[in-house]
A = this chain, B = another copy of it.
Amino acid sequence: MTTATGSNRLASHGGPGKVRLDRDSIISTGLELAADTGATTISVRELGARLGTDPTAIYRHFRNKEALMQALLDELNARAVAAVTADPGDWRERLRQLARATLSSFTSYPAIAVEATVLTTHGPGELDAIELMLDAFARAGLDGDELVRHYALMASHVLATAAGIARGRSGRPSDEESSPWFDAPILADPRTHPRIAELGAKMADLEDRDLFMLGVEAVIQSAERAAAAR
């Protein structure tokens, strides 16, 4: 929930006055910082400066930086779930929307996305995202182990790949829709690496976003086939 930081008295920036913090204002300012800098990491000191307080004040509200990053990541999860608008019956489109929204969030907030390699945020946003995916595969006609496996495959791919894309793009402007999968054209000696020599040009044309969605489609199709085979 991004309830605009309304709980701070002393709205006018009148010199080094003490500012009252709470978890929500730290989270929203943290998101802001991650989006503006576009860097792959944010520091506690940077965040403190932007909050207008001593950096260590953050430790009154979060046990350590890891807990803070988990809260930020969970907020991103919650927003991605909220961006899913398709009818619950259209399970394919719901999964696509969730994936797209996650990738969009992650590329907008690279410093938070890189934390996603640790899967569990133990927050409500993650819980909602899991529920959405489980429900989608259940409506696809799966259940039991097959259902859980497909969910895990989808979650793993979306989080890990989106995090990788976000990190790779950390430097560039975020308005780009997609980026090349390889940062540089790849070329090799045709003698030792004939396939690369032949296909290197095509590989340079690959766009990370297309590849990401291709993986999503692969899991969806796998679910369709598993459901049909019963």
Contacts and interface: CB of A to CB of B under 8 A. Distances in A.
Interface of A: 114, 117-120, 122, 127-128, 130-131, 134-135, 138, 144-145, 147-149, 151-153, 156-157, 159-161, 163-164, 167-168, 181-184, 186, 188, 192-196, 199, 202-203, 206, 211, 214-215, 218-219, 221-222
Given A118-B168, A144-B202, A145-B202, 20 more contacts: A117-B164, A117-B168, A119-B164, A119-B168, A119-B182, A120-B183, A120-B186, A122-B184, A131-B194, A131-B195, A134-B196, A138-B195, A147-B199, A148-B203, A149-B214, A152-B203, A153-B215, A156-B215, A157-B157, A218-B218
Given A120-B184, A160-B161, A196-B130, A211 B138 contact: no
Given A134-B199, A135-B195, A211 B149 contact: yes
A148 B206 contact: yes
Contacts of A181: 119, 152
A156 B196 contact: no
A26 B215 CA distance: 38
A127 B188 contact: yes
Main secondary structure of the interface of A (DSSP, over half): helix
A161 B156 contact: yes
A47 B18 CA distance: 44
A91 B188 CA distance: 22
Contacts of A138: 195
Contacts of A147: 199
B120 A167 contact: no
B156 A211 contact: yes
A164 B118 CA distance: 7
20 contacts: A117-B163, A117-B167, A117-B168, A119-B182, A120-B182, A120-B183, A120-B184, A130-B186, A130-B195, A134-B195, A149-B211, A151-B203, A152-B181, A152-B206, A153-B215, A153-B218, A157-B157, A160-B160, A160-B161, A160-B164
Closest 6 CB pairs of A and B: A134-B195, A160-B160, A131-B193, A148-B202, A117-B164, A160-B164
A127 B196 contact: yes
